[in-house]
Structure 1
Amino acid sequence: MILPPENRFLSPHTGWTRQHWEATADHVLDSVNPYWSPRCARIDLPGEPSRYGPISDGLEGFARTFLLAGFRVAGGGDPKLLERYAWGLAAGTDPHSPEAWPRPDQLGQAKVEAASIALVLQMTKPWLWDHLDDGVRDRVLGWLGTVVGQPYPPINWVWFRIVVESFLREAGGEWSVEDVEHDLALHASFRREGGWLSDGEERAFDHYTGWALHLYPSLWTHLFDVPDSLCSQETRQTWSDDLARYLEDAAALLGADGAPLMQGRSLTYRFAAAAPFWVGAITGVAEPGLVRRAASGVLRYFVDHGALEPDGLLRLGWHGSWPALRQAYSGPGSPYWASKGVLGLALPADHPVWTDVEQPLPVETHDFTRVITAPGWLVSARRCDGIVTTVNHGTDHALPGDQRADSPLYAKLGYSTATMPCATDNSVALVDPEGAASHRAGFRTLFVEELPGGVVAGASRGPVRWVDTSADDSPDHGSGRSGEIVEGPPVLVVSVVRDGVEIRIVRVDGDTDARLRLSGWPVAADLRPHAESLTGPEIVVTGARLRSSLCALRGFDLAGVDTESGSSPLGKFVAVPRLTTAGPVPRGEVLAAAVRLDRGCGAFTNPLFLPHGDEVVLRWSDGLDTRITLPNP
């Protein structure tokens, strides 16, 4: 791919302008051209099929690249980009065609792709819909119309039906006001504090909050003639206010290199993480220069790290191809939901989001800590290394009391913009005599709060368990696995974060014959990371300009490192530091460790850890005392 020269005057942080976005989008569209089916109803990309089969995957390739082509045309691109999609609409909706699409009432995945098709048809109406033959338009309305009255999962999918039925309403098709009202009510039930939305009733906080649950409502009211009887002005204002608040957090969660938080399912959608920022520009709730800085940072991060393969394709993975990142619904066309992140191309070239000077991200201006209440995250970032970390006391893709195993993409104690979760990182686990580790999903969040002196703190507690998941072969949709359970005691975990370090405090509130293991941040590198054990005990792992350290403050006897290979898209080897007790943990004993991730910049002295019964005092090197009262068992 040939990109234009950088422009460091207009874009001092990324160098990228609209021309870079156009070149990238055109390259992506050109690269899928060899994979069009003969009648253009599918784009049959190479790779292992999803659980829904190659026909569904081909429809997915069509619909998701249709998003990219639609954004490109809506913003002034060549309408000829839509020509093949017009042919595909004719063939895919013809039940007698050899390339007929499965209908949304026949295949659940078609409900997802129908929304992308309807959205682009609405957005590109003057260039595509208005020029289709009457017969093709009737067939498209008939195919889309099979969504009416169909069951939809009570998650972000509710917006797929709202978008489709809104297009049907305006294009003269059949639709159901009851469907739309039902789905809007479900969306309202997802709202949480601070502008966040959960992807369903569970504590499922991830990128879907931005690239689905904020994106569709804003585009719906922007693109469609939505009557007040369906969506009042008060509701629209609520959505706008929620988006503005959410984007403040979203900007704070981006690393200085543009990396999004590596947390949650569907990470193969990559630069779709830029989508909510573009929605902020479309609705006017976000500063244009910050929007482009955030969005260009995300796209450039993935382009620079090889997300586009040498043949120009997006394959399942994170940087480049990494099939292990797939979930049951992932097929060769799935990664092209990344097209959502190119939504900004639908805005004209003279829009302020393209003409204003880039503004810096929060991590580029100052060190900060931040509490994000809805997902229960303690956020910390330091300007010197550009990494953003979250300590997690509120998200597990479950509900309190859940008995499943931990989902590695949700239930860990930490996620960052520089590390991908692996098997053993960021956990507090009881390890039984056979070496099996306990799970914490289903915990209860006790508090997340800001304290004086730039300190943030959070706590969670719940009974742990050992889960034998060997018999659970259900599709992976991001949740933890089920199986035979051995109950364990309640475990309290408290985190206190300041200046990039987490003081992790643990208390086991029951009898156990298990040892306690506390693990830190994973370091992935193509060369085996270096591990150094120090007295204390303390363990430091370094590799690929990243350093992960654990220092025992109380109660831990041993330090070590777990190393594995072939388990991360960020490097060939992964090393995770750990601290363990030599024997079983006595009921009520308080243990603590300092947990840190950085790039080796700046010095830091761990605080003194001073326990006094149920109160703990952390005395920092500058003289600040932070007092934490441990919740009662």
Structure 2
Amino acid sequence: MKKYIFLGCALLALNLPGAFAQKNKKGTIAKPAQAAGLLDRALWVKALYKIAYPVVHNLAQGTLKKNMPLEQGANYNLVVTDVTYLEAVGRTAAGIAPWLELPDDNTEEGLLRAKMRKEFQQGLKNAADPANPDYLNFQKQAQPIVDAAYLAHAFLRAPKALWEPLDSITKQRYIQDFKSLRNRNGAYNNWLVFAGLTEGFLRYIGEDYDPARVDFALNKMKEWYAGDSWYKDGDLFSMDYYNSYVIHPMLTDLVRILLEKRPGKMHVTEADYDLVLRRMVRHSEFLERIIAPDGTYPAFGRSVTYRTAAFQVLGQVALMQKLPSYILPAQVRCGLTAVIENMFEGNQNFDANGWLVLGFNGHQPMIADVYTSTGSLYMATLGFLPLGLPADNPFWTGAPADWTSKKAWSGQPVKKDYKVEY
């Protein structure tokens, strides 16, 4: 790809001094393979920061509701002011959490990360304060069931960066907000996992929780498993990206935290966790294979306006360092870098003030679903989870490698794909 031809093009990645592109975090000169990985990482950081900044910065200033646009599709059927702001905050939080959880350092990236973490901690305090202009709604409508779960997922992904630093009053406000969701039901599909994860978080921090919501989520997902890593989204199968947007990451993390807090009424075993993890790893194989040689991927199914969230499972498996042995971390990095370049190196997905616009790769409001508004779009951050791996991890330091479809279309050897039985 063109960025590998000349290392000086790292300057486009963060508008930072060239030292960032050519030195590792210990300050020593990077080898060529490492330098290529640092270029990729800089591009990822630039894109994630560009996406998240309007939400994080405005929330910290108490101006999110004042400044965030309320774009929605023609058939939108929710009360947008009741739901879109929590959507933006919860979804942004879940995507940037692993990156914010990294320890501080004095690199340009580290300073940028520390700045965003500090602003987001202030923003989370504002969002829970009834006296703040950006106080978020958890009490009205069913939609907050969804986005409370993304916020809870962020707290689980970055407890030291996002949950533990909150003052006791703010923590109690979120706890009560999460508990307030119990007076509503959501859709009879992946929404069960949302409710289960939020209750699982409450259990994780030692609060009263509703075991019925947790059990219902676990049992229905077992029932809805269709095979070869695909879960049905309710009674019928849907060919879309919801296995990656929601089901695998939240289900796997729910079982994990139940195991970690084993005392109590929840009956999950190591075998249960091993099963959901193996299914998620298998699903990551599909996602790696759908990245075309040119870094595009199919825009099928509902909610394609969530853009790079389609690769949450692949990113989470990489973050957990659980990729199948035949998939090199570097080939995942390179494939996803190509996707991120296509999506976010231009301005086609942003308005004049830097907010995401309705669409897949451009302003395409005709493909917005009836529940999609500006805040919904910040699910795109979920495609950036591997930024939670430090810069000296093999994901970033490995030599550039072709991903599966690029190998296949150029006549290179590729592993035969076949279904799994678990």
Please, what TM-score do these two structures have when normalized by structure 1? 0.53
Amino acid at match of 2:338: G
Change (3 A) 1:150 1:258: same
Q: 1:43 to 1:260 in 2, by over 3 A?
A: farther
Of 315, 336, 339, which residue of structure 1 is paired with 2:378? 336
| Equivalent residues of 1:121, 1:128 under 8 A apart | yes
Q: Is the 8 A contact 2:96 2:384 kept in 1?
A: no
Structure-2 residue corresponding to 1:248: 285
Alignment of 1:38-187 (within 5 A): 39=62, 42=65, 44-49=67-72, 51-76=78-103, 77=110, 78-95=113-130, 97-104=132-139, 106-148=140-182, 150-187=184-221
Rounded Cα–Cα distance in structure 1 between residues aligned with 2:252 and 2:66: 29
Unpaired segments ≥5 residues, structure 2: 1-10, 23-30, 104-109, 412-418
> What is the CA–CA distance in structure 2 between the aligned matches of 1:82 and 1:318, rounded to whole Å?
28
Aligned to 1:302: 343
Q: How far is the alpha carbon of 1:331 from its aligned partner?
A: 0.7
Match of residue 195 from structure 1 = 229
Q: State how far apart, in whole Å, the 1-side matches of 2:383 and 2:89 are.
A: 17
Q: 2:397 aligns with which of 355, 376, 384?
A: 355
Offset of residue 96 of structure 1: 5.4
CA 1:268–1:152 in 2, change beyond 3 Å: closer, same or farther?
Answer: same
C-alpha contact 1:43 1:62 (8 A) present in aligned 2: no
Q: Distance in 2 between matches of 1:332 and 1:67?
A: 17
Match of 2:51 in 1: 28
- Given the superposition, is the C-alpha separation of residues 32 and 92 from structure 1 closer, same or farther in structure 2, using an over 3 Å criterion? closer
Q: Deviations over 1:161-210 (max 9, x none)?
A: 22211221122322112210111111112211211122221121211112
Distance 2:125 2:284 in 1: 39
* Pairing 1:285–2:323 present: yes
Secondary structure of 2:13's counterpart equals coil
Name the CA shift for 1:95/1:282 in 2 (closer, same or farther; >3 Å). same
Secondary structure of residue in 2 paired with 1:158:
helix
Equivalent residue for 1:431?
A: none
CA offset at residue 118 of structure 1?
A: 1.2
Structure 1 residues 88 and 251 mapped into 2: Cα distance closer, same or farther (>3 Å)? Answer: closer
Deviations 1:236-275 (A, max 9, x none): 1212222232223222222111212110011111111221
- C-alpha contact (below 8 Å) 1:194/1:245 kept by paired residues: yes
Larger Rg, first or second structure (1 or 2)? 1
Contact 1:10 1:17 in 2 (8 A): no
CA spacing shift, 1:140–1:41, aligned 2, 3 Å:
farther
Aligned to 1:262: 299
For residues 222 and 350 of structure 1, the distance between their equivalents in structure 2, rounded to whole angstroms, comes to 26
Take 2:60 and 2:338, find their aligned partners in 1: how far apart are those partners? 34
Match of 1:276 in 2: 313
Whether the 8 Å CA contact 1:118–1:167 is kept in 2: the answer is yes
8 Å CA contact 2:47, 2:345 repeated in 1: no
Q: SS where residue 17 of structure 1 aligns?
A: helix
For residues 373 and 81 of structure 2, the distance between their equivalents in structure 1, rounded to whole angstroms, comes to: 8
Residues 271 and 134 (structure 1), Cα distance of their counterparts in 2 relative to 1, 3 Å cut: same
| C-alpha displacement of 1:217 | 2.6
Check the 8 A contact 1:270/1:318 in 2, yes or no: yes
Q: CA deviation at 1:358?
A: 3.7
After the TM superposition, which residues 385-464 of structure 1 pair with which residues of structure 2 at under 5 Å, given as runs? none
Query: What is the one-letter code of the residue matched to 1:129?
Result: W
Establish whether residue 227 from structure 1 lines up as the match of residue 262 from structure 2: yes
Structure 1, unaligned runs of 5 or more = 367-381, 385-448, 450-633
Paired with 1:42 and 1:226, the residues of 2 have a C-alpha distance of 37
CA distance in 1, matches of 2:156, 2:164: 10
The CA deviation string for residues 516-538 of structure 1, in whole angstroms up to 9 with x for no partner, is xxxxxxxxxxxxxxxxxxxxxxx
Between Structure 1 and Structure 2, how many residues are aligned? 369
Partner of 1:580: none
Q: Structure 2 vs 1, CA of residues 347 and 33 (structure 1 numbering), >3 Å: closer, same or farther?
A: closer
Deviation per CA, 1:392-441, whole angstroms, max 9, x where unpaired? xxxxxxxxxxxxxxxxxxxxxxxxxxxxxxxxxxxxxxxxxxxxxxxxxx
Q: Report the Cα offset of residue 9 of structure 1.
A: 5.2
Give me the whole-angstrom Cα distance separating, in 1, the residues matched to 2:35 and 2:61: 45
Partner secondary structure for residue 218 of structure 1:
helix
More helix by share: 2
Of the candidates 217, 221, 227, which is equivalent to residue 251 of structure 2? 217
Are 2:203 and 2:209, in contact at CA under 8 Å, matched by a contact in 1? Answer: yes
CA distance in 1, matches of 2:267, 2:203: 12
Residue 2 (structure 1) aligns with:
12
Cα 1:22–1:340, aligned 2, differ >3 Å: closer, same or farther?
Answer: same
> Matched residue of 1:192: which SS?
strand
Q: Distance in 2 between matches of 1:235 and 1:149?
A: 29
Give distance in 1, aligned partners of 2:249 and 2:285. 15
Q: Is the 8 A contact 1:254 1:294 kept in 2?
A: yes
Alpha-carbon spacing, 1:169–1:126, altered in 2? closer, same or farther (3 Å): same
Which residue is 1:568 aligned to? none
The residue identity in structure 2 corresponding to 1:238 is L
Residues of 2 paired with 1:127 and 1:112: CA distance?
Answer: 22
Distance 1:31 1:352, change over 3 A: same
Partner Cα separation in structure 2 for residue 117 and residue 108 of structure 1: 15
The residue type paired with residue 398 of structure 2 is D
> CA offsets, 1:374-393, max 9 Å, x none?
xxxxxxxx448xxxxxxxxx
Q: Deviations over 1:5-62 (max 9, x none)?
A: 8999539999952122112222223344675485367584224245322242122222
Partner Cα separation in structure 2 for residue 25 and residue 53 of structure 1? 25
**In structure 2, do the counterparts of structure 1 residues 174 and 135 end up closer, same or farther at CA, with 3 Å as the change threshold?**
same
RMSD between aligned alpha carbons? 3.1
Higher strand share: 1
Question: Residue 115 of structure 1 contacts residue 164 of structure 1 at CA under 8 Å; is this kept in 2?
Answer: yes
- The residue aligned with 2:3 is none
Distance 1:138 1:112, change over 3 A: same
Structure with bigger RCO (C-alpha 8 Å, 6+ apart): 2
Q: Does the 8 A contact of 1:43 with 1:61 survive in 2?
A: no
Amino acid paired to 2:116: L
Any idea what SS the aligned residue of 2:354 has? coil
